Amino acid sequence: GAGVSQSPSNKVTEKGKDVELRCDPISGHTALYWYRQSLGQGLEFLIYFQGNSAPDKSGLPSDRFSAERTGGSVSTLTIQRTQQEDSAVYLCASSLVVAGSGNTIYFGEGSWLTVV
Amino acid sequence: GEDVEQSLFLSVREGDSSVINCTYTDSSSTYLYWYKQEPGAGLQLLTYIFSNMDMKQDQRLTVLLNKKDKHLSLRIADTQTGDSAIYFCAERSWGKLQFGAGTQVVVTP
C-alpha cells in the first residue's frame, strides 16, 4: 500500500478483555516496528520484526503483550487481559530494511486504545 | 545505555527561525532523524542525516550534527503557524529507533 495502515484506528475495551491491533506495512518493507505512546509521554519501543522473526522484543512490557508477523507482511499486536495502564496510542512503522541505505522508517497513524 | 534528550518546549514568533536541540549517547548511531507529530496524528518523517555528515538542508529545514559532542539540531526557517507540533529526535544504530521525549513547538502570531 501507499503507507503504513493500522486498524482499528480507535478501540475502547473493558478491563480484562483481549485486544488485537493490526498493522499492514508498506509493500516490500521487510522490517516492521511497534511503539507505544502514552498520554504526554514519549515513544516507547515494543518490538521489531525482520521478516517474520523478532530479533528484539525487549520492549514488551509484560507477558500479556505478544506480537506476530506472518508472510513477511501483516503484523498483529495482541494484549491479553487489558489493564487501564495499557491505554495508549500504539504506533506501527516499517522500513525497507533494518539497517543501511533505504532504512528510513515510516509510521502509521496509530491505533488509539482506551481501556475502561 | 541509549538515551536521547530534548528540551520539552519552545515558543517562537511567526516568521522567526526555530532551533530545536537534541543530544544522544549512542556513539554507534548511524542515522539520526527528526519526526513531526501534529495533534491526533501519527509521526511524519521530516528529515534524517547520516552520521558521516555535518549538515543537511532541505527547503526550510537545516539539520546540524556535531558527532563529537553527540548533538543534533533542527532549524526551521521562517516558522509558520502550521509548524506548531511536537518534534521528536531519534537515533538509530541497528534495528529500533530510540526517541527523545519530544519538543513541543508553539508558534505565536
Q: Is the Cβ pair B92, A103 closer than 8 Å? A: yes
User: The dihedral of CA A19, A46, B31, B8: what is its sign?
Assistant: positive
Q: Is the Cβ pair A98, B48 closer than 8 Å? A: no
End-to-end CA distance of chain A: 33
**Closest approach of chain A CAs to the CA of B43, in angstroms?**
6
The tens place of each residue's pLDDT in chain A, 116 residues long, gives 579 999 999 999 999 999 999 999 999 999 999 999 987 677 899 999 999 999 888 899 999 999 999 988 999 999 999 999 999 999 999 998 766 554 688 999 999 999 99
What residues of B are in contact with residue A91 (Cβ under 8 Å)? 42-43
HEC string for A21-82: EEEECCCCCCEEEEEEECCCCCEEEEEEEECCEEEECCCCCCCCEEEEECCCCCEEEEECCC
What residues of A are in contact with residue B58 (Cβ under 8 Å)? none
What residues of B are in contact with residue A109 (Cβ under 8 Å)? 41-42
